[in-house]
Chain A
Amino acid sequence: MSLLTVQNLRASFHTRHGVVRAVQDVSFSLEKGETIGIVGESGSGKSVTCYSLLRLIPQPPGRLEGGRALFDGVDLLSCPQNQLRAIRGKRISMIFQDPMTSLNPYLRIEEQLIEPLLIHDGLDRSEAVIRAVTALEDVGVPGAAQRIRCYPHEFSGGMRQRVMIAMALITRPELLIADEPTTALDVTVQAQILELIKKLQLELGTAVIWISHDLGVVAGFCQRVLVMYAGRIVETASTEAIFKRPKHPYNRALQKSIPALQARGAELYTIPGLPPDLSKTLPGCAFAPRCEFAEEACRSADIQLRGVEAAHDSACIRVQNGTVKL
């Protein structure tokens, strides 16, 4: 059985300017120990998807409109709060993009690290501190026994992200959700952090959902990739297939516009237009207005994610019916 099965997740925000459908009909599953990447540009719904799973979006204005998220048989979206609380922070933890805003500046690292152990594992303080020092050593904080008494501002950005990782993994979770944890870091520090998470993941057998807009990070780190656009998954496949055999025009266009994959000085491919406004209902495919392959049917058809190859799904109707080869 899968560790996590998400079915038809829908989430929206009710604002003064109308209802923004941030996540629409998102379904995916995740096996034990697997690493999947969710990629997409800002506003594509990748973060909202993951926040919804843990019911972390503020309600109101946010609203979970429907769907299920089965984690080990428990529906995270409808289970009672106390049951969710026993899972969140213990069996599922999360790392955020900006470690400075997710650490409490008034508390020593020690207090913040041992909190999950006191709450979830019922350890007493001295035991918890010993575990916390070990956890800090595991993430490569030098002089952990002394550094644990420091406040967050006394750490550099990379070190703070290490503290966040230690905190997220201290309860040995089965699932780690990482929301762009390396985006704010320099590349050499990013390489350190990626290496570290890979190592710890192997040791603990943790499954990881890695949210990123950086296709490069995803290529090196994930086994499977979901590509999101305008609140929907438009393509999902193994990392290999996503990069080698794109089956959705958006994914293909995205890769063509990355400088790293293009010849130096050549004009970069650009996707015309802008992402759609999600507060307006769009019939048909949301990418159609920007897509070079769009035809009349794209603007009205019912868009569904369907298998187009073994373990490779695409939401493009022209790829599905074989009228377009990418």
Chain B
Amino acid sequence: MPDAFLELRGVKTHFPVERGIFIRRRVGTVRAVDGVSLSLRKGEILGLVGESGCGKSTLGRTILQLIPPTEGGVVLAGKHLEQLRDAELREARADFQMIFQDPYASLNPRMTVYDALAEAIQVHQQVPVAELPRRVSELMQKVGLAPRFIKKYPHEFSGGQRQRIAIARALAVEPKLIVADEPVSALDVSIQAQIINLLAKLSREMQLTLIFISHDLSVVKHISDRIAVMYLGRIVELGAATEVFEEPLHPYTKALVSAVPVPDPDREKRRQRIILQGDPPSPMNPPAGCSFHPRCPYAVDACKTSVPALEDFGSGHMAACIRVKQIGAGTPTTNR
């Protein structure tokens, strides 16, 4: 993509598995992320979905260089992040921030909102102390928190408010890219909606590029421009949010979409679920060929040997499956 703001080039993140107490021997490798290439426009929201253990969080952390990639590179606004030295990287971090799942764990319980936000502002900017209170209240208003809470501690807030503080902290350095790792999974439905609206609004207003990691497909579909579906460390499908959701190409995406419960009794009756057999295999020992083939209802012999590449099936809707043409798009329904 010529106007790419963020580009991932064949990113691999592998973790060694070691045994032994005194003599550590390497007994295997967990291929958490195994060759991901992607590019994002400025201001785009990409939803990253997949089940636990598929590598979506590791990919998010690798992009932000919280975990160095084993192979491949991350280019943000022309800068090769994996080649930066420590001091340069620290400086560059002002451009990219992360929001975590659990707002109870990601805030220091002994710091007031003011302390937490003022610290974040000062890390990357020289701001006179006298000006800090004003800057902090501005930030708080931006995320919908009343500035009168400025002297309160995290335990005095509800989960949703805490997530707002975490978002404010991420925004303090005026980043260009935010990776949000399951930012609404720990919240109740009515609170989820508030946070989703907030993130969508901020992305729009500040031209923020957002990578939204979640296992909840309906949330991702709602907020994202494009969706990437991961399975065992690889992207198996990528495309515009509505297309991936309504006309899925890859058999895994089909199963995933069909498994999402819809709060509509009529639709639930009409839908036919694709029930996958078994659990996802271990990323330490992934199956040969297409890693989805042991659970795939459409698998043929060729799937066991060749690793399918991500292929474009029109208008940027890509899937990594050799049988897309035979299977066709969409999910099964009974008497549509």
A binds B: yes
Interface positions of A (Cβ within 8 A of B) = 41-42, 156-159, 186-192, 194-195, 213-220, 239-240, 243-244, 253-255, 257-262, 264-265, 267-271, 274
| Chain B residue with the shortest CB-CB distance to A240 | B265
Query: Considering the chains assembled together, what is the distance between the CA atoms of A255 and B193 in angstroms?
Result: 11
Complex contacts, B193 vs chain A, CB 8 Å:
257-259, 268-271
Known pairs A259-B196, A259-B223; list 11 more (Cβ under 8 Å): A187-B215, A187-B259, A191-B273, A192-B276, A216-B218, A243-B265, A259-B192, A259-B221, A260-B222, A264-B242, A268-B222
Contact B222 A274 (CB under 8 A): no
Instruction: Give the residue among A189, A218, A254 with the most B Cβ atoms within 10 A.
Output: A189
In contact, B263 and A260 (Cβ under 8 angstroms): yes
A-B contact count (CB 8 A): 119
Q: 10 closest Cβ contacts across the A-B interface? A: A216-B261, A260-B218, A259-B222, A220-B268, A215-B263, A191-B259, A186-B51, A257-B193, A268-B193, A41-B188
Interface presence of B309 (CB below 8 A):
no
**In the bound complex, how far is the Cα of B51 from the Cα of A158, in angstroms?**
12
Residues in A whose Cβ lies below 8 Å from that of B218: 216, 258-260
What are 28 residue pairs bridging A and B, where the CB atoms are less than 8 Å apart in the complex? A41-B188, A41-B190, A42-B188, A157-B52, A158-B279, A159-B279, A187-B51, A187-B259, A188-B51, A188-B255, A189-B51, A192-B275, A214-B261, A219-B265, A219-B268, A220-B261, A239-B265, A254-B189, A254-B190, A257-B190, A258-B189, A258-B218, A261-B262, A261-B263, A265-B200, A270-B193, A270-B194, A274-B160
Residues of B within 8 A of A158 (CB): 279
| Interchain CB contact under 8 A, A260 and B190 | no
A218 to B265, CA, bound (A): 9
Taking the nearest CB of chain B, how far is it from the CB of A298, in angstroms?
Answer: 19
* Size range of the chain B interface in the assembly: 35 or more
In whole Å, how far is A205's beta carbon from the nearest beta carbon of chain B? 22
Asked whether, in the complex, the Cβ of B192 is within 8 Å of the Cβ of A257, the reply is yes
Determine the distance from Cα of A257 to Cα of B273 in the docked complex, in whole angstroms: 25
Q: Tell which of A41, A192, A260 has the most Cβ of chain B within 10 Å.
A: A260
Residues of the B chain whose Cβ atoms lie less than 8 Å from the Cβ of A220: 261-262, 265, 268
A218–B258 Cα distance when bound, in Å, is 16
Residue ID in chain B nearest A238 by CB atoms = B265
CB <8 Å contact, A188 and B276: yes
Chain B positions within 8 Å of A270 at CB level: 190, 193-194, 197
- The residue that B256 contacts in the complex, of A188, A239, A267, A274, with Cβ under 8 A, is A188
Q: A188-B256, A267-B197, A268-B197 are in contact. Are A216 and B263 (CB under 8 A)?
A: yes
Per-residue contact bits, chain B 199-226, to A (CB 8 Å; 1 contact, 0 not): 0100000000000000101110111000
| A260 pairs with B256, CB closer than 8 A | no
Within 8 A of A (CB), among B151-189: 158, 160, 188-189
For the complex, what is the distance from the CA of A191 to the CA of B262, rounded to whole Å? 12
CB distance from B302 to the nearest CB of A (A): 24
Q: Compute how far the CA of A232 lies from the CA of B263 in the bound complex, rounded to whole angstroms.
A: 22
Bound CA–CA A46/B189 (angstroms): 15
B241 at the interface (CB under 8 A from A): yes
Question: Which residues of chain B from 212 to 263 have any CB-CB distance to chain A below 8 Å in the complex?
Answer: 215, 217-219, 221-223, 241-242, 255-256, 258-263
B301 at the interface (CB under 8 A from A): no
Contact flag A265-B222 (CB < 8 Å), given A215-B263, A216-B261, A270-B197? yes
Residue of B nearest to A216 (CB): B261
Q: Is B131 an interface residue (CB 8 A)?
A: no
* Contacting pair A260 B279 (CB below 8 A): no
Q: Which residues of B contact A157 (CB under 8 A)?
A: 52
Of all chain B residues, which has the CB nearest A263? B222
Q: In the bound complex, how far is the Cα of B145 from the Cα of A274, in angstroms? A: 13
Question: Which residue of chain B has its CB nearest to the CB of A274?
Answer: B158
Question: From residue A72, how far is it (CB to closest CB) to chain B in Å?
Answer: 30
Whole-angstrom distance between the Cβ of A145 and the nearest chain B Cβ: 18
Residue of A nearest to B52 (CB): A186
CB distance from B253 to the nearest CB of A (A): 11
Residue of B nearest to A214 (CB): B261
Q: How far is the CB of A260 from the nearest CB of chain B, in Å?
A: 4
| A264 to B246 Cα, complex, angstroms | 12
Interface-central residue, B260, B264, B273, by most chain A CB under 10 Å? B264
Q: Are A260 and B262 in contact (CB under 8 A)?
A: yes
Report how far A216 CA is from B241 CA in the complex, Å.
20
When chains A and B are docked, how far (Å) is the Cα of A243 from the Cα of B265? 7
State whether A257 and B275 are in contact (beta carbons under 8 Å apart), knowing that A186-B215, A220-B261, A264-B241 are contacts in the complex. no
Contact residues, B272-300 vs A (CB, 8 A): 273, 275-276, 279
Cα distance A194–B268 in the bound complex, in angstroms: 13
Residues from chain B with Cβ under 8 Å of A271 in the complex: 190, 193
Is the beta-carbon distance between A262 and B222 smaller than 8 angstroms?
Answer: yes
Q: How far is the CA of A190 from the CA of B223 in the complex (A)?
A: 23
Chain A residues, CB < 8 A from B192: 257, 259
A191 to B223, CA, bound (A): 24
Highest count of chain A CB atoms <10 Å: which of B194, B197, B221, B261: B261
**Cα distance A164–B260 in the bound complex, in angstroms:** 23
CB contacts (< 8 Å) of A267 on chain B: these are: 197, 200
Residue of A191, A216, A219 near B275 (CB, 8 A) is A191
Assembled-state Cα–Cα distance A255/B189 (Å): 9
List of A residues within 8 angstroms of B194 by Cβ: 270
| Residues on A with beta carbons closer than 8 Å to the beta carbon of B189 | 41, 213, 215, 254, 257-258
Give B245's nearest chain A residue, CB to CB: A264
